[in-house]
Structure 1
Amino acid sequence: MSDTWRVPGYTEVDVLGTGGFGQVVLAKHEASGKMAAIKYLRAEFLADARIADGLRQEAWLLSGVRSPHVVRLFDFVETPQGAALVMEAVPGVSLRALLAAENVLAPEAALTILKGSLLGLADAHAVGVVHRDYKPGNVLVSREGASKLVDFGLATLDGHNGLTAGSPSYMAPEQWAGRPGLPATDVYAATCVFYQCVTGHRPFEADTSEQLRAMHGGAPVPLEAVPEALRPLIARGMAKDPAWRPATADAFVTELEAVARKAYGKNWEKRGWKRLAASAAALTALTPLALLTAAGTAAAPVAAAGAGTGVAAGTAPGVAAGTGAGVATSTGAGVTATVAGKIAIAVAIVGGLVAGGLVVFQRGDDPPAPPPPPLSVAMQTLSGRDQALPISYELQYPQVSGGPDAALRQRINDALRAPIDKRLKAVRDGIADPDIVERIRQEDGTAALHSSARILLRTPSVLSVRYNHDLDSDVLGHTTWRFPEAFSVDLTTGKVLGPQDMFRPEILTAAGMRTLTQRLTPYTGDFCTVPTVEGYPTRQVSMDAAELPGGGDHVPASTFGFTETGAEFEILWYVLGCASAAGSESVVLPYAGLEDLLLPKFLTMLGKTAPSASSTAPSTPGQSGDGATYTNSRFGFTTQVPPGYTASAWTPENGAGMTYSDDGIGAMLYVWGTNSAGRPADKLAQLVTSLEGNGGRVTFKSADSDGYTVSGYQGDGKIYYEHESVGAGSAAGLRWVYPAARKTDLDKLVTDTVRAFKPGDLSRPH
């Protein structure tokens, strides 16, 4: 290999730029006389497979971006002697040179540059490519005032990790942290450059990279030096959390145009072009690119010969090229990600392989598009003011991009957007009454509607989302205007998943919903009681929707989503009938207490292993799960033995039982069988009276014909949980008592033992 190697068929005219990995030259195509910019990789780096792969990656990514705002790739040429990108040459100068000469740009000119380069980023984002190194040196301004992006050497596919590198003055917080590149990452960098254009200095300046990292990660954006009309735009684009920035460059362009028209009038862009063109033309005249005036603006080079064989290079209108000389590298040992690996890249970029080892990627041959980017998720925000009602709104919701199926992507996005549209309509309908509208205008001025969204879980098959809806209004002050909701979407079909898609059929019954209520009980706050028929003055609320006013199917009476650790139920107490409890509570039921309730297929979609048949069947002596099991020979009840706990025989009145204790943490499990059957409601009432009479507090109680459940706190502050199954002839039960401070540590163990407990035959005395 030699640094004297040149792309066959071109004569070098001048050097446009030199970087660490190579140089960019202005060259004339010998057969056509047209100019091009050629980016060469230095010979010593071509020997490094990782770096060479990086150049191939840049060619591959550029090949998929079709935009008048991105420098175009004509050819990628690789031989044993060297490798190079042949690109269009743009008669203009870098924004870096323009800023060096002008220092500060007029707002209209800066907005024009930002819009043009954002459009280039938008076209890249549309095919899943994230630039990751937007900076003044990578933006070219032509003599006509248009701007173009160059140098995709650090680019990755949307959602893929790349080198934790870039230009520190413009790097987003997530890029400093090495997280996957997002379109919002480019939005941040573009906004930093825009800030520099209108103020004459970078938003954050420091002596060390660590100081810069801290400032980009936590320091507020210094907006004092920014023209007031542009401050909201910069604050949005430089939000620390990418979820609060415009999700794509295209979305940012929409916001930019609205701000520009409002602040600088409808002709802002024309004035901006005029100011830029004069400066760009003057500076271009001092560079080798001034030769492009004589070369004209005809088609790109039409042939590139190599190894004695002519290979068509394709035609593409426009002339020539960027000055960036950076070259990407592959993931290897911590360098830039090679998106699809060596083999996939080679397949994507090779247009022909001829004797002598010449590889040419031909842009004009319209090669196969790069493989579609993977599905990725980013936050969007719908904001504005109602034209007829005193309502302002800022509503956040997730949207997906990428993936091979546009129709599927649309179905998913429609499902994710639906709660926001429904919420906005509900508030509009709720305050449309003229009297309410007048009160809001007098007391509030405007009812401010807010919604935030959070991804609970994302697997290849499921996206689970939680929305938190809020309303800032004194007139509409009741807490029912503020509530959470959650749901899950099947990413393979776009369908919103319902209980029938998640729960086993036997759980969608009255008994199954009682089981769910019992499983949730140890994790909830204060379940209320509601009036019922004579003789039973109150009834504990349940998670069974069929028990709500109006009835319905036996399904959970709250929305719910899934996290890494379990199912998060968004319980609205007023929906369950708690007249005195108008609030809500988010309760996570761990998978240990949930997996036997869910369909095995759905567990697999969640990335969890479905329990085996034996793990959901009744336990037998000697069976092992998280611990051994014990079966009482007299009453036949079976319990899971907590590992490491000390077992002791215990004899309750008219029965038999066992205790398992861990004296080190003060936890105790009681299990028993007894011939004292009786009415569950009476037994529950006696237990509640005893607990409260000794200074305890009951947070949940429930009784039906099959038994009772109670939970709360003893007088000494320890958590108390008891469930007893009651039959015609006998009863069997389980009780946990343990310190509240150890709740998190013991949650799984308590759930496992509750789930595994089998009461035995209760139809007769023992």
Structure 2
Amino acid sequence: MLAPESALAVLKGSLLGLADAHAAGVVHRDYKPGNVLVSREGESKLVDFGLATLDGHHGLTAGSPSYLAPEQWSGQPGLPATDVYAATCVFFQCVTGDVPFRADTADGLRALHQAAPVPLDAVPEALRALISRGMAKDPAWRPATADAFVTELETVARKAYGRNWEKRGWKRLATSAAALTALTPLALLAGAGTAAAPVGAGTAAVAAGVPATGTGAGATAVLAGKIAASVLIVGALVAGGVAIFGNHDEPPAPAALTVSLQTLSGHDQALPVTYDLQFPQVSGGSDPAVRQRLNDALRAPVDKRLKTIRDGVSGYRDRFQETGDTAAVHSTARILLQTPSVLSVRYHHDLDSSVLSHSTWRFPETVNADLGTGQVLGPKDVFRPEVLTAAGMTTLTRRLEPHTKNGFCRVPEVDGEGRQVGIDAADRGAGGDHVPGAAFGFTGTGVQFDILWYDLGCDTASGQETVTVPYGELGDLLLPKLLAMVGRPASAPSGSQSPASSSLAPPSSSAPAPPHSGDPTTYTNARFGFTARIPEGYLPVPCAPANGDGMTFTNADLDATLTVWGGNSDQSSARALAAAVAQAEADGGRVTYRKDEGDQYSVSGYQGDGKIFYERGFTGSASMAALRWVYPREHKAELDAPVSTTLEAFRPGDLSQPH
């Protein structure tokens, strides 16, 4: 495992080597630790082009399984982005000490590379976005070439580790003459990820300093250059009996605060209870007291959860004995956000029991911790004072509502339509403070609320819903200090009014309040009810698909369009996906990614004119809703963020009936 600066230096060096190949129209297709050799003078050689093909051409479905991109598993043509995926896999290995995915069979590994999320919890927070980009399932979402990825890497590295990050990375990678011979480094990691035989064709053997001819045709075997790349070491790396030590002329910096996931598992000695509980713990940092407070706070949810289940089982002990039931308690933890100042963790508590079977035994929970003090952040540490009032909670309800599937419910009353519930916890029967009646955490794009509708007064069948509201919509409700902690600029309330007294009026007592149809960044289709977030600067033009209705938003400067539409159709997602693929190919385009998830589908690739397209659709028993982005490759970097935000925020409306 390497220090982040050292791992970045390794990745940069390998990308520079790949960039020369990509510039020549060659895709390596078998990037792995053993194929990047580095001398003690810092000269990097990218070797073994035996599986290389020309950009966009087919070759053997081959490569080292631990680093194969999703499109390689499907036998699709090699692209420069294919090499970017493999290089990022090795980078992941550098910073975590293990390959991204492991499986007992090739089919299992294929499934993980093609569908499983990248396990970013073990990666330093500052590097997660970089790895997510490089290992995107769809090559259209990765940097188009190694050279483009170098630019992104340097931006991330400078922001996270300062101007001299590369120099420090080299210092930590300094090695003794006894440890390094002519060439070596990255091959030392190979044992962790390349034990399985390559898929398809074999790879050429490479001796130190000897070019590999490989088995392919027409590709240069070695690309050599003076690259500021490096060896895989921090402190000491031991592999195959060889120990490599860093340079001792510079004392190590204090250990950074790192987060890792741990699991508490076992069975109760007195009750029919088994448990498998995941929770994060921190290490490093300069203050042991802060570290202890953090670890206590991060473990508290699973300890409390286990006690609650034990108490519940004790109360139904006779029933458990009669049925022979065992309560299997599960909790998973996911890091929503980690910055130098704050850690936001979401726990999902599950329970497998026929006796304690009610859905209310299963729910999410969040912990937001100040990494500087170790204290848990509560509503008063997050929201402005005027928001923690009845009027302020009404405003928060109105900000949340457009992002929910069906809005806030109404509680039936003897006369009238009933009272519309809100997010205010004080509106519950027990009263209390005016605070959000839902767990909330922080992500890279906004505040995530886990709403338990039955807790707010809706019927139990309403279930749960996770809603993320962009920081841009909540900035005036949040404390400036909190915004700084999550890495966002502070926002002042618009105009002279406070959020609690702004133009967002309380919900009407006679009808549900509509979504923000007048908000320039939100579009709600009046006929089909779907809601989409529209980036600033896009002009709307109505569109009329067959048996449907929609809108196309265009940014002339970026030559980008976002089309959102609905239609009356009982077509399944599989059929809708097949139709989208067929249409793209009929128009001369190329599909690089497709996925059917039962009630929704995704497809992306390149149109016949070379532009990138991404379409996501939602299907129901009587209607459908979809959105489609189209934009040129040269604007990909600046559009990746708004495209992602739009996809996450899209709400399809009610698809169970025609409109």
Q: TM-score, normalised by structure 2?
A: 0.45
Q: TM-score, normalised by structure 1?
A: 0.39
